[in-house]
Structure 1
Amino acid sequence: MAQPGPRAPLCSACYQRARRARQGPEIARRANLWSKYRITVEQYDSMRTSQDYRCAICGVHESEVDISRVGGRPRKDGRALEKMPLAVDHDHRTGEVRGLLCPGCNAGLGNFAEDPSRLWSAVAYLERFRTTG
């Protein structure tokens, strides 16, 4: 039987996926925050504190967030995924981090393509149909 040849080098994404599969949740969290948003865990925690552990838009406290709505792929090694109730919100054009949002507000901004005119139009629409009392 022929011996298998040397393994081909992994692409960057496959290498990162394999490396993170071996890491614990805290190391993976640190790596994800840095690779996606260029912030540290300490910076994330500082934002949580400065926002009083609340969504920057609706003000819901992180303890009231249904983390079953929080995304994240399950870990292949079966270890628990550390889910954070407040997502890092960032400008998709510039990468600038704006704050921390609950899943609903984060999805809402995304669904409106981060377009203020669409959001204002939605507000005007809701105001037209607002009932008093």
Structure 2
Amino acid sequence: MSGYHSYCLPCHNARGQETRKRLYGGSREYHLRERYGIGQAGFDELLWRQGGVCAICGVADPQHVDHDHRTGAVRGILCFNCNGGLGQFRDDPDRLAAAIRYLKGTTWQRTLIHPGVYRITSSMRVRPPSRSS
């Protein structure tokens, strides 16, 4: 490649936007079709089946398509935080289960040792001191 193009970058971008608008009705429709194989109508139907809320946390008006990265199959519509959370855990049920166990088992507690002196303990890591100590 020579590095030379027939259009400057702004003109190239404008042509791409015009093409997406002409062929797909807009960038959102193009993105949904190219990436997930569904259009805005498919997105709206999934969202309607979910009651208009995130499939995980129930927040209203989610905008992110969740899909299986191995198969590409669309699973549902999620809010930004839930979609990002699944991505951070790499869609791994074992990692998510470990995170749930961690959250349920790490309730930090303040235990009074002497007047004005506390020990911070976690039920998962350290057994609270007995009453005799």
CA offset digits 1:36-94 (Å, max 9, x no partner): 000021110001111111000111111xxxxxxxxxxxxxxxxxxxxxx4200000110
User: d(CA) in 2 for partners of 1:104 and 1:88?
Assistant: 12
Specify the SS of the correspondent of 1:105.
helix
Q: Which runs of 5+ in 1 are unaligned?
A: 1-5, 9-14, 63-84
Specify the SS of the correspondent of 2:65.
strand
Larger RCO (alpha carbons 8 Å, 6+ apart): 1
Pair 1:86-2:63 in alignment = yes
Who is 1:109 aligned against?
A: 86
What is the TM-score normalised by the length of structure 1?
A: 0.64
Aligned-partner residue type, residue 100 of structure 2: V
CA offset digits 1:105-127 (Å, max 9, x no partner): 00000000110000000000000
Who is 1:55 aligned against?
A: 54
Seen in structure 2, the aligned counterparts of structure 1 residues 119 and 43 have a Cα distance that, compared at 3 Å, is same
Dislocated runs of 4+, deviation >6 Å: none
Greater share of strand: 2
User: d(CA) in 2 for partners of 1:59 and 1:127?
Assistant: 21
Paired residues, number:
98
User: d(CA) in 1 for partners of 2:63 and 2:97?
Assistant: 24
What is the TM-score normalised by the length of structure 2?
A: 0.64
Aligned-partner residue type, residue 121 of structure 1: A
Seen in structure 2, the aligned counterparts of structure 1 residues 110 and 7 have a Cα distance that, compared at 3 Å, is closer
Specify the SS of the correspondent of 1:88.
strand
User: d(CA) in 1 for partners of 2:25 and 2:52?
Assistant: 19
Who is 1:33 aligned against?
A: 32
User: RMSD over aligned Cα, in angstroms?
Assistant: 2.6
Aligned-partner residue type, residue 35 of structure 1: E
The 8 Å contact of residues 20 and 28 in structure 1, kept in 2 or not, is answered as no
Deviation for aligned residue 1:20 = 3.6
